[in-house]
A and B are shown apart, each in its own frame.
Chain A
Amino acid sequence: MLDVAVAYNRYKFLGEEFLTWLWFLIDEHPAILRKTDPDLTSLEIGNRMVLLKRHKKAVEKITVRGENAGLEEAMLALQKGALVAELNLVYRSAELKWQFTLKGESLNLSSVKTPKIAPPQGPEDMEGLVLEKIFLYDKILQFLEKLYKTFIKIRLSNRWHNRETSLMKKWFRAAR
């Protein structure tokens, strides 16, 4: 087990490969996402994507912002060797919508918005409200944890180099 501070810098790329793979799944294999979470109706790219191209000590950053923003520039960055460093995602389950940003290097979540819940009518409602909110957070965290486990199993197997990376390269080259 490595020291966490050392591991943070050493394995930034792993989180960024995860986000890049996740975009690939959203585009090409949404069925795998639904298999991971049967409650999932859809997972879409949200209003922000950041890509980083690291080369020795130089880092090139590309940011795509806005609802329904075109991702051509982001795809072009992938073709040039960048990885997805931050990804805003919209998770839908039936009529409910979650939106959040996932950062590759830390796997931290920010701008997490869950479906709205009714405000408490009094102090006696507080426990129920807190538990409902926890349930809503847990829903997307469980999904992300399962997805990351699936990614890690593939990433550490021969399948990653023999199959997955070829399919991913084919995907972003086809977007030319």
Chain B
Amino acid sequence: MSALSSSVSMTRYQVDGKLETPILETVAAGLNKHAIVEIDDPSLEKVVGWTSFEKPYHPDFGGSSFVYGKFLVFSLRIDRKTIAPKLIKKHMVLESERRLSESGRPYLSRSEKEHIRDQVMDRLFATVPATPHIYDIVWNYEDAALWFFSNLKAANEVLETLFLQSFDVTLIRMIPYTAAFYASDLTDTQKDTLLELTQTPFTG
């Protein structure tokens, strides 16, 4: 529950688009459809999906359990297998040596090396468990605002893609331009001025 940690990172979004009514049922359907599942294909490197805020290892969105007052609170979970590069190198070297010894040849071709690498990666991925990474989300539906508790680029990109797939609405990251364009009630003239804006020369 990173949102309750003593120190957090936050990325702010605006939700662009309308959900089908009844809203809570639409959100629950999207969460259930894209809920995280355990990796059952041993060669799979990564799975992503929604999970419960309070029970991130047992996703359950029944009974509006994701509703806290006027906020929708749930989490993005990314389960990823990571293998240390030195471990890959070790197994590559061992396998290459075994093949050279068996064949009696002095070197391996590029395609043989690639084949060995694929085999080593498949074997290691099958034995390494996936590490879960959990990022909390607070969605204020009434204000079309969402907070994502991470600044990691990769996690933000996964969120944006999965959110669109799940709820058919777009997340717009609040960066300096979008925060001005969307959230500052600008007139059309001000929006035109914004498009032409250049950095202020403070020296001179």
List 19 A-B residue pairs with CB atoms under 8 Å apart, sorted by A's residue number: A7-B178, A11-B197, A17-B199, A18-B176, A78-B202, A106-B11, A107-B175, A107-B176, A108-B10, A108-B11, A108-B12, A110-B9, A126-B54, A137-B10, A141-B147, A145-B179, A145-B183, A152-B184, A152-B194
Give, as a whole number of angstroms, the nearest-CB distance from A124 to chain B.
12
Instruction: Give the chain A neighbours of B173 by CB distance below 8 A.
Output: 4, 106
Pairs A-B, 8 closest by C-beta atoms = A7-B177, A15-B176, A14-B176, A11-B177, A13-B199, A81-B203, A110-B9, A109-B10
**B193 interface hit (Cβ, 8 Å):** yes
What separation, in Å, do the CA atoms of A133 and B147 have in the docked complex?
A: 13
Number of interface residues of B (CB under 8 A): 43
- Chain A's closest residue to B181 (CB) is A1
Instruction: Give the chain B neighbours of A137 by CB distance below 8 A.
Output: 10, 138, 147
Q: A111-B7, A148-B179, A156-B180 are in contact. List 8 more A-B contacts (CB 8 A).
A: A13-B199, A103-B151, A105-B175, A107-B176, A112-B9, A130-B53, A137-B10, A165-B200
Bits for B48-74, please: 1 = Cβ < 8 Å to A, else 0: 000001100000000000001101010
Bits for A113-143, please: 1 = Cβ < 8 Å to B, else 0: 1000000000100110111011001000100
Instruction: Give the chain A neighbours of B190 by CB distance below 8 A.
Output: 153, 156
Give, as a whole number of angstroms, the nearest-CB distance from A164 to chain B.
9
**A168 interface hit (Cβ, 8 Å):** yes
Contact (Cβ within 8 A) B177 A14: yes
Bits for A8-42, please: 1 = Cβ < 8 Å to B, else 0: 10111111011010000000000000000000000
Chain B contact residues, majority secondary structure: mixed
Contact (Cβ within 8 A) B9 A113: no
Instruction: Give the chain B neighbours of A18 by CB distance below 8 A.
Output: 176
Contact (Cβ within 8 A) A131 B200: no
Number of interface residues of A (CB under 8 A): 53
Contact (Cβ within 8 A) A130 B9: no
- Chain A's closest residue to B54 (CB) is A126
**B6 interface hit (Cβ, 8 Å):** yes
**A169 interface hit (Cβ, 8 Å):** yes
Instruction: Give the chain A neighbours of B176 by CB distance below 8 A.
Output: 11-12, 14-15, 18, 104-107
Contact (Cβ within 8 A) B180 A81: no
Bits for B5-24, please: 1 = Cβ < 8 Å to A, else 0: 01111111000000000000
What separation, in Å, do the CA atoms of A20 and B199 have in the docked complex?
A: 12
What separation, in Å, do the CA atoms of A156 and B53 have in the docked complex?
A: 41
**B172 interface hit (Cβ, 8 Å):** yes
Instruction: Give the chain B neighbours of A14 by CB distance below 8 A.
Output: 176-177, 180, 197
**B185 interface hit (Cβ, 8 Å):** yes
Give, as a whole number of angstroms, the nearest-CB distance from B72 to chain A.
11
What separation, in Å, do the CA atoms of A15 and B176 have in the docked complex?
A: 5
What separation, in Å, do the CA atoms of A18 and B174 have in the docked complex?
A: 14
**B3 interface hit (Cβ, 8 Å):** yes
